[in-house]
Structure formats: structure tokens, C-alpha cells
Amino acid sequence: MASVLVVEDDQFVRSALIRHLTEASHTVRSVGTALEALREVAHFRFDVVILDLGLPDLDGAEALKMLRSITDVPVIIATARDDEAEIVRLLNDGADDYLTKPFSVEHLSARMAAVLRRSRAAGAEPPPRVLRVGALAIDPLRRQAELDGKRLDLTRREFDLLAFLAGRPGVVVPRKELLAEVWQQSYGDDQTIDVHLSWLRRKLGETAARPRYLHTLRGVGVKLEPPGPQQ
């Protein structure tokens, strides 16, 4: 059984989802706007959010970004749009999965079960230790990172990327592995990784031309290692 938030403005679709999810023994709350969804996740704990893109007050893609700024709850996008570029963009922005309307109840249930398995498996892991690479200190449990004792202001994805690399210091991590482990997807645009690396480098006080911690091996992958004495 899971606690589910349904964000859907179409009353017919919304009622059908509530009925089927309730029959499957899930606890369901529902709203019809993005702002209501933000209020719900701020006040209640959910195991998964089913988010429609065609909301009346705010496009679902923007709602997803706002949700990601305040919660790590798994989000399944429910959309009538089937543009692959947009779907990839949504996954890169933090969606955990997506369904193209119309979809069956069985399909939704299977996707929910997969997302919940991943989420609960991650939650069952023992609390990770503070990771240290040179003057970097990354605390995965508190989701905080410091450089030279100063707190780094990182986005959710920047922190996930840094923490993943910090767990494998000095190891070149292939881009496909970064997409699978950090972005939770089996395919995507390498430019997404490059953009996040660029933002992360800026906050670490380095550049691609003069790296200190983040090193890119063209055509291979990325590694995080402490700077040498000359740096």
C-alpha cells in the first residue's frame, strides 16, 4: 500500500484514478492544480505523485521543477504528449517515470510498483558516511556538501552527481552509468551531463580548461579526485 497524490484537472480521469488506486488499497489524495499540489507535498508525506502536464494554472513541466525544489518524492508524469525530446527533458528535470495517455490501470500499477521498489530499496540502505575528497566533504544523509569548510549551494541534481562521483574517487565513471544512476534513465542527451558538470565546476571554483576536482576524459567518462599539490 502506498500514499499517492494524484494531480489531474480532468475530473473524469481524476475520479477513475482515485477509484482504481483506492481499490488497489492505496491511500489517495487528489488536487486539480499545480499550486494545490505544492501545498499538499509541503504538508503531507507521499510515496509517489502522479502528475498531469496539462494543468490550468501552471504547465506540468514547471510544476515538476517546483516540486523537485522541495521534495524528493518519486514523480510519474501522466501526459497525452508523446514528443520524445520533451519526455527526455522531463526525465532530466527529475521525473522518475512517465505514462502516455491513454494508459491502462494495469500499466499504471506496474510503473508505480517499479518506482516504489526503487524508492524503498534506496531507503533501506544503511545511512551513508560523510564522503571526503580533498577539501570536499559530502554528507549524503543530510544532503549537504562543503568545500574548505564552506557550504556549497547545490541543486538536487548537482548534489546527486557530486555525491555519486565522490563515492568512487579517482574512478572514471562512464556517461551511461551516470545517466542510469544519477538521472535514473537508460538513455538521454550527453549535453545534460555537460551542463550539470559546468554548473558544478563553477561552484567548485574551477573550469573545464583548468579542472581541480572534476576531470572529463573525452569519449570515456568523468572522475572526481583531489587536486594535486601544484593546484
Residues 66-125 pLDDT 10s: 888 888 889 999 888 778 788 888 888 888 888 888 888 888 888 888 888 877 766 555
Whether residue 112 sits in one domain with residue 14: yes
Label residue 142 by pLDDT band (50, 70, 90): confident
pLDDT at residue 106, rounded to an integer:
84
110 residue type, one letter? A
Which CATH number belongs to the domain containing residue 101 in this structure?
Answer: 3.40.50.2300
> Cα separation of 66 and 209, whole Å?
33
Whether residue 146 sits in one domain with residue 120: no
Residue partners of 48: CB distance under 8 A and separation at least 6: 2, 3, 4, 5, 73, 74, 75, 76, 112, 115, 116, 119
Report residue 157: phi and psi, to 5°.
-70, -35
Whether residue 109 sits in one domain with residue 87: yes
pLDDT at residue 188, rounded to an integer:
61
Residues 21-49 pLDDT 10s: 999 889 999 999 999 999 999 888 899 99
pLDDT at residue 92, rounded to an integer:
82
- Domain boundary residue among 70, 103, 124? 124
| pTM, entire model | 0.56
Residue 219 CB coordination number (10 Å)? 7
Asked if 29 and 5 touch (Cβ cutoff 8 Å), the reply is: yes
User: Omega before 102 cis (within 30°)?
Assistant: yes
Q: What percent of the chain has pLDDT over 90?
A: 42
Whether residue 70 sits in one domain with residue 149: no
Whether residue 196 sits in one domain with residue 99: no
Question: Would you say residue 58 lies in a domain?
Answer: yes
Whether residue 101 sits in one domain with residue 78: yes
> Cα separation of 67 and 42, whole Å?
9
Give the total number of structural domains in the chain: 2
Whether residue 138 sits in one domain with residue 100: no
Whether residue 119 sits in one domain with residue 8: yes
Cα–Cα distances in Å, from 149 out to 1, 2, 144, 202?
Answer: 43, 40, 11, 17
Q: Which one is predicted more confidently, 128 or 143?
A: 143
- Domain boundary residue among 124, 156, 177? 124
Q: How many helices (H) and strands (E) does the chain have?
A: 8, 12
Among 79, 74, 63, CA closest to 13: 79
Question: Would you say residue 229 lies in a domain?
Answer: no
Q: What percent of the chain has pLDDT over 70?
A: 93
Question: Would you say residue 231 lies in a domain?
Answer: no
| pLDDT reading at 230 higher than 60 | no
Whether residue 119 sits in one domain with residue 135: no
What is the average pLDDT across 120-133? 70
Whether residue 51 sits in one domain with residue 119: yes
| pLDDT reading at 5 higher than 80 | yes
| pLDDT reading at 62 higher than 60 | yes
What is the average pLDDT across 153-161? 91
Cell reading at 102: 491513454
Whether residue 70 sits in one domain with residue 172: no
Q: Which one is predicted more confidently, 170 or 1?
A: 170
Which CATH number belongs to the domain containing residue 177 in this structure?
Answer: 1.10.10.10
Whether residue 12 sits in one domain with residue 63: yes
Question: Would you say residue 163 lies in a domain?
Answer: yes
| pLDDT reading at 126 higher than 60 | no
Q: Rounded to the nearest 10 degrees, how much is the dihedral formed by the CA atoms of 109, 110, 113, 117? A: -170
Q: Which one is predicted more confidently, 184 or 200?
A: 200
The boundaries of the domain holding residue 167 are 131-224
> Cα separation of 190 and 195, whole Å?
9
Question: Would you say residue 230 lies in a domain?
Answer: no
- Domain boundary residue among 93, 124, 155? 124
Question: Would you say residue 60 lies in a domain?
Answer: yes
